[in-house]
Amino acid sequence: KILVLSGTLLKGMDQDFYYRIILKMRESHVRVILDSDGEEFRRGLEARPYLIKPNSFELARLVGRQIHTDTEVAAAAHEVLERRVEVVLVSRGGRGAVLITKDLQLIAYPPKVKVDSAVGAGDSMLAGVAIKLTEGASLDEALRFGVACGTATVITPGTELCFPRDVLKFLPQVQVEEFRPA
């Protein structure tokens, strides 16, 4: 079982909202994926979600320094893993994504496409990862599928999301590799 908590809380909501939900879900053996920013993200992180999905800028804010290279992304992700999160998935826009656990470092490269709109691409990527994890897929399979979903979303206009036919078209074109930062 997986629960995705995503987005910024509405003004006036308790900043511990995600924190409390994550604790409850952990008691029920539900893996929680957290994709947020700001204070509610930091508080939610304290409850030890299974997976977090910051983008590079959010990860930089979380660790308190700028991040430019894949090596710096990996180092920052490992700092977050020390807070007892199992998986850090960093979205990097058109450069794909990096997935880090204590034992695994993967980088996924999307195929080159003409971008119509990037709205919802990160959310689509995360949804694809969550779907595959729910199905029992490995982390590399989930990452590949998620990046295919994100890629399929950027070719759609406005706020449209991906279509299954496009996801399946891009899936074999997504390159996933283990990497060892310098």
Catalytic residue among 70, 116, 123, 166: 123
In the DSSP assignment, the letter for residue 10 is P
CATH assignment, 50-178: 3.40.1190.20
Reported confidence tier of residue 182, pLDDT bands at 50, 70, 90? low
**Cα dihedral angle (44, 73, 177, 1), rounded to 10 degrees?**
0
Cα separation of 64 and 69, whole Å? 15
Answer whether 0.95 is exceeded by the pTM.
no
pLDDT at 84 over 90: no
* Domain segments of the chain as ranges: 50-178
The pLDDT tens digits of the residues spanning 91-137 come to 988 889 999 999 999 999 999 999 999 999 999 999 999 999 999 99
In the DSSP assignment, the letter for residue 42 is H
Q: Is 37 a catalytic residue?
A: no
